[in-house]
Amino acid sequence: MGAVVFNVTTAGLMVLMFKAGLALIGEGTVGRRRLPWTAIGLTAVALGGVLTQLCWSGAMDAFDSDPAKSGWWRVITSVFMQNGGIGGATWNIATLAVIAALAEWFWGGPLMLGLFAAGILLPQHIDALFGSSDRTDTDPRNFAGSSGATYFLAATLAAALLLRAGTGKAVRTDRLLALAAPVAGLALWFAQSNGHGLVTAYGFALGALVRVLAAPVIRPDRDLQQPPRTTMASLAAVVGRRPRQAD
């Protein structure tokens, strides 16, 4: 029962941040936005990691982040190894694809990758700073998996939503939605020692800082001002088009 509650609350936190990211870029604008090529590439790398696991039984031993093993590369390669079986891998890849796309549309490709990398590298150093680096059982990756970096990246979108300019009831509602992400994350951390909640708080803090410092170079409306040739809507139309039957 405890595992079920853990999984449900963890998934609920991601849904909350997905809604924040969608509110940030505008749900109605998705169809007019360009294809998120950087997010597609990142997802392809993650899929490549899963394929490697399927083809090579020793992949996890070679690439996970078990602290008992040596290898400077493990902190990075472990993110592209998935644990938790088919269900866990599917959830991790799907959430990575969606969150990376939302983040690319708001932050831009290079900054999205930088924030994702921060989600890989920073949490362990912050944990060490507060003396909790030995709590490896609370690591959301448990030595492997992309969920920790994905939750970190998703939280940056919630932070950006909180700092979005504007007034009115809709803006206040969005800000409450944004604040709910770190509050819920910390609640999960204290109630369950759920590492996903802790990295959410870390990502929210960094996202707020980056939003303030990088404001001049962030252009989330660029796709709406100069619509690209290939948009999400045009791709959906091509995929959904069925061949006409012969008379």
Domains (range + CATH), the chain: 2-231 (1.20.1540)
Closest CA to 138 of 198, 82, 178: 198
Q: How far apart are CA 19 and CA 102, in angstroms?
A: 10
Q: How far apart are CA 181 and CA 205, in angstroms?
A: 11
Q: Which amino acid is at 54?
A: L
Confidence of residue 131 (pLDDT cuts 50, 70, 90): low
Residues ≥6 apart with Cβ < 8 Å to 65: 74, 75, 78, 141, 143, 144
Residues ≥6 apart with Cβ < 8 Å to 152: 115, 116, 118, 119, 122, 123, 199, 200, 202, 203, 206
184-191 average pLDDT score: 96
What's the confidence (pLDDT) of residue 226? Answer: 83
Structure confidence by residue, pLDDT tens digits, 119-128: 999 988 787 7
3 state SS of 143 = coil
Q: What percentage of the chain exceeds 90 in pLDDT?
A: 74
Q: Which amino acid is at 122?
A: L
Distance spanning both ends of the chain, measured CA to CA: 58
To the nearest whole number, what is the mean pLDDT of the chain? 90
The verdict on pTM exceeding 0.85 is yes
* CB atoms inside a 10 Å sphere around CB 69: 12
